[in-house]
Structure 1
Amino acid sequence: MTGRQGTRETQESRDTYLTGYAEILAEVAGTGRRLTRDELEDRRLVGERAAEAGHSLRSLVRLHLDATRADWPDRAGRPDTTQSVLAAVTQAVDAFAEGYERAQRLAVRQEEAARREFIDDLLYGRSDLGRLAERAERFGLVLSRAHAVAVAQAPEAYDDTAPVTRHVESALISRFGDRRVLTATKNGQLICIAPGDQDDVLAFFAKQAYAATDGSRVAIGRPQNGAGGVVHSYEEALSTLDLAERLELDEPVVRAADLLVYPVLTRDRQAMADLVLSVLGPLRGARGGAEPLLRTLEAYFDAGCTAAEAARRLTLSVRALTYRLDRIHQLTGANPADPVHRYTLQTAVIGARLLGWPAQEI
C-alpha cells in the first residue's frame, strides 16, 4: 500500500466511522453532559458496521484517539472540560467496541450454526450432494476423496464448545496443521473426520480423546469414498462401539476392519439365536445356571485354549477349570478341547455375547 493509498483509506474510515464524533466532543466540552442513549446506540451500530467490513478494532480505536487529539475542543475557561471530554471519549469508544464485539459474536454464532448444520447434513446423508461438496470445502473437506470417521464414546455429553472438545481439536491442529481434518460433536460424542489415507490423524485423535475423556473407548470406521462414504464410515464406527461393548472388549481403540466377522455372524439373527440355544441351551441345567459355564468358555477361548491361563483369569485352580470343561462336555455333548467341536462352541459363545444371552431371552 502506498502512502497516498493509506492516507485515502484512513480518510474514508474517518468519514465512515467518525461521522459526528467531533461534534459530540465539542458539545460535551460546552455543556459537560454525557452522551445520550441515542448517541451511544449510534456508536454501537457504527462499530457493528466496522466489524462486518472486516476492519481491525485496534486500528479503529487508534483512529478515535487520533481524532480526539486532532479535534480536542478548546475550552480553557472551563476547568472541568478535560474531565468531561475524556468521559465522553470513554463512552464513545466503549460503545463502538461493544457494537464491534456484538457483531463478532453474532458472526461466530452464525459460523457455528452453519458448521453444525453441515455436520448434521453430512452424517445423516442429507442435502444435495453437489451443494454438500461445496459446503465441505468451506470446512476443509474434499468429498471427492475417501474419508474415515472416528467416534469417541464419552462418559458425558459434549458439544462443540466443551473444554474437552476444544482441547482435542487444538491438539490436532497443533500436530497436523491444515491436513483437512474436521473435529466436531454429534449426539454428545466426539468425532473426527479425516482423509482415508491419513490413519495417523485418527490414531492421534483416538489417543487424545481417550486421555481427555478419562479413558473412554474410541472406534474407527473404514475409509469410504464420497459424501455417502463419510456416512457409512460414521455408522460403522458407531456399530463398532456397540459391538465392543457387547463383546466386553478391553481395547481402548477398536477398528471396524478388525471386527468385520461379527456383523457377518449376526446378519441372520434368527440363525445365530438357534445356534446359541441348540449348542449352549443345555448349560441352563447346570447348578447356578448357564452364566458361570459360559464365562468359563469365554475365558478358555480368550486364553487360546490354555487351561492354566484361563484358570488364572478366572481365579480358579486348573483342576476346578478342568471340572467345568468336563461338565460343559457332559451337558452339551461338545468337547471344548476337541478341535472339531471347538469352532461350533466358540461361535456359539460369540453369538451369546452379541445377543446378550442368557441374561436376555432370545
Structure 2
Amino acid sequence: MAASTRGITKSLLPAPKTRAAMAKRLAGATPAMTTATIAEMEERHPWFRALDADYRSWVGVVARAGIDGFVTWFSDPDPEAPTTTDIFGAAPRALTRKITLSQTVELVRTTIDVVEAQIDEVAPRGDRPVLHAAIVGYSREVAFAAAEIYARAAELRGAWDARLEALVVDAVLRGETDETVLSRASTLGWHSSGGVVVVVGPAPESESTQAVESVRRSAGTAGLDMLGAVQGDRMVVVLGGSALSTPEFARQVVSRFVDCFGAGPVVIGPPVEHLMDAVGSTREAFSGYRAAPAWPEAPRPVESSDLLPERALSGDGHARRALARDLYDPLVAAGGGLLDTLVTFLDQGLQVEAAARALFVHANTVRYRLRRIHEVTGYSPTDPRDGYALRLALTLGRLRR
C-alpha cells in the first residue's frame, strides 16, 4: 500500500487484522447510522424535505451505500479510492437532475457528521482516532466521485445543447424557422420576440466551444439572447433583443466580442423583426462577408450596408438594386439639379470650384447642393468612400433605366 491511506499516514495505520476487527465492530452500527443520517437531513435541509418520497428514499440508499462502502473500504487489506459505482451506482441517473452538486455535497457532509458522531458513541476509545482520520480521507474521495458524476452529466448536456444549437442556427440561416425551431430555440434560452441580427466572421483559431461561450457571456451582459455555431471556416452568431433595432447598438455589442472570431472581417447583417425573418439579415451578412476582402481597410466589425459597393460588384443583385433604389432614385425625384451637380462634382475630382465653373453657378450653390445630396441619400459626396458608393449608384441607376 502507498505511504498513506487517503489521509492516514502509514505509521498510524493498524495492521489489516486489527483494521478488519474495527470495521466489524463498526458494521453493526451502520443501520443506525443510516437512520440517523436521514433524520439529520430532514432536520438540516429544507430542500430534502421538499423532495418526493421516492427521491428521499434514493438519497437514503446513497447514504447507506456510502456508509457500507466506508466500512468495506476500511476493512480492505489494501484499500483503493472508492468508485462512483460503489456509492452512487444504486441510485437512478435522474437523481443527478433532481439534486444539485451543492446539495450532494451537503448530503456527504451531513452523512460524515453523523458517522463521526456515531463513531464516538459505538467505537472503543482506542479505535476513534484512526476511524476519524479514515472517514475524513474517505469523504474526500466521495466528494471527488460526486464531482466526477456531475461533471460527466454537464459534459453530456453541453454536447447535446451544442448539437441542438447548431441545428437551430442552421435552420434559421436557411430560412426554415418554423414553430419546431422556435421551440428548440426557446429550450436553448432564446426568449426575444423582436429585434434579430445575424453576425458572421471567421471561425476562431482557438477552441470553438469556448469562443461561442465567450460570445454568449458578452451578449448576456448586454441583455441579449444569443445562438451561435461554427460552420466550417466561419462562425455565425444570431443576436436577439429589442435594442438591436438600432444598428449603432448592434455594432457596439459586436465590438465587445469581435476578438472571439478568427482573423478577418466580421460582418453585421441588418436588424429584422423576428427570428423567423432572420434569413434576410443572414443573406446580407453572408453577402458582405464574401465581398469584404475587396475592402481590406473596412472597420471590424463592419455593417453589411457599408459594403454595398463591394457586394454589388461581386454579383449581389440585392445590393445593386439597393444602391439604385436608395441613392439614385431619390436624387432623380428630388430634382433641383442635384443629380447633375453630383455627376459634375465627381467628374471634377471632388473640387467644388471646378464643379461650379462647369455648371456655371456659384461655388456656394454647389456646396448647398452637396449638403442636400447628403440629406437625401445619407451619403456625403465629399467623403471618398461615400463618393465611391454614389458613383456606383449613378452607374447602376442609369443601367436600370
**TM-score bin, normalised by smaller chain:** 0.5 to 0.7
CA distance 1:100–1:85, shift in 2 (3 Å): same
Structure 1 letter corresponding to 2:159 = R
Q: What residue is the counterpart of 1:141 in the other structure?
A: 190
Taking the TM superposition and a 5 Å limit, the aligned residue runs for 1:37-76 are 40-45=84-89, 46=91, 49-55=94-100, 56=102, 57-72=104-119, 74-76=123-125
Number of residues paired by the alignment?
Answer: 280
Verify: 1:119 aligned to 2:169, yes or no. Answer: yes
- Give the Cα separation in 2 of the matches to 1:249 and 1:305: 21
Matching residue of 1:99: 149
Q: What is the aligned partner in structure 2 of residue 312 from structure 1?
A: none
**Which residue of the partner structure matches residue 254 of structure 2?**
206
2:235 pairs, out of 176, 189, 214, with 189
Deviates more, 1:100-109 or 1:259-268: 259-268
1:176-325 residue pairs with structure 2 within 5 A?
176-177=222-223, 179-187=224-232, 188-195=234-241, 196-211=244-259, 216-248=264-296, 250-260=298-308, 305-306=350-351
Q: Is the 8 A contact 2:69 2:86 kept in 1?
A: no
CA 1:96/1:194 → structure 2, altered by over 3 Å: closer, same or farther?
A: closer
Q: Distance in 2 between matches of 1:268 and 1:255?
A: 16
Amino acid corresponding to residue 305 of structure 2 in structure 1: A
- The separation in 1 between residues aligned to 2:190 and 2:312, in whole angstroms, is 32
Superposition deviation, residue 240 in structure 1: 1.2
Deviation at 1:143, TM superposition (A): 7.1
Identity of aligned residues (%): 19
Separation in structure 1 between the aligned mates of residue 143 and residue 65 of structure 2, nearest angstrom: 13
SS at match of 1:113: helix
Supply the AA of the counterpart residue of 1:256. Answer: S
Superimposed CA distance per residue, residues 10-67 of structure 1 (whole angstroms, 9 cap, x where no aligned partner): 9657414212322333445556662687x64232435955422232343233233234
| 8 Å CA contact retained: 2:161, 2:188 | no
2:201 touches 2:265 (CA, 8 Å); kept in 1?
yes
Asked whether the 8 Å contact 1:223–1:233 carries over to 2, the reply is yes
Aligned partner of residue 224 in structure 1, secondary structure: coil
From 113, 116, 130, the equivalent of 2:179 is 130
Matched with 2:63 is 18
What SS does structure 2 have at the residue aligned with 1:141? Answer: coil
Q: What SS class does the counterpart of residue 150 from structure 1 fall into?
A: strand
Partner letter of residue 257 of structure 1? S
Q: What TM-score, normalized to structure 2? A: 0.54
Deviations 1:266-298 (A, max 9, x none): 6699xx9xxxxxxxxxxxxxxxxxxxxxxxxxx
Deviates more, 1:187-196 or 1:27-36: 27-36
* RMSD over equivalenced CA pairs, Å: 4.5
Q: In 2, are the aligned partners of 1:151 and 1:220 still within 8 Å (CA)?
A: yes
Q: Name the amino acid aligned to 1:204.
A: Q
Query: CA separation in 1, counterparts of 2:299 and 2:347?
Result: 14
1:202 deviates by 1.7
User: What is the alpha-carbon distance in structure 2 between the residues aligned to residue 52 and residue 151 of structure 1?
Assistant: 35
Give the whole-Å Cα distance in 2 for the aligned partners of 1:23 and 1:220: 60
Aligned to 1:359: none
Partner of 2:335: none
Change (3 A) 1:21 1:348: closer
d(CA) in 2 for partners of 1:140 and 1:303?
56
| Contiguous gaps of at least 5 residues in structure 2 | 1-41, 321-344, 353-386, 397-401
Write the letter of the residue equivalent to 2:235: Q
Q: Which letter maps to 2:107?
A: L
Change (3 A) 1:8 1:139: closer
Distance change >3 Å, CA 166–CA 71, structure 1 → 2 = same
Q: Which runs of 5+ in 1 are unaligned?
A: 273-299, 308-341, 352-362
Distance apart, 1:129 and its partner CA: 0.6
User: Structure 1's 268 and 29: CA in aligned 2 closer, same or farther, altered over 3 A?
Assistant: closer
Q: Indicate if the aligned counterparts of 2:266 and 2:302 stay in contact, CA closer than 8 A.
A: yes
In 2, the alpha carbon distance for the partners of 1:185 and 1:250 equals 23
Distance in 2 (alpha carbons) for counterparts of 1:105 and 1:141: 21
TM-score by length of 1: 0.59
Secondary structure of the residue aligned to 2:302 is strand
- Distance 1:83-1:254 versus aligned 2 partners, 3 A rule: closer
Superposed displacement of residue 233, structure 1: 0.9
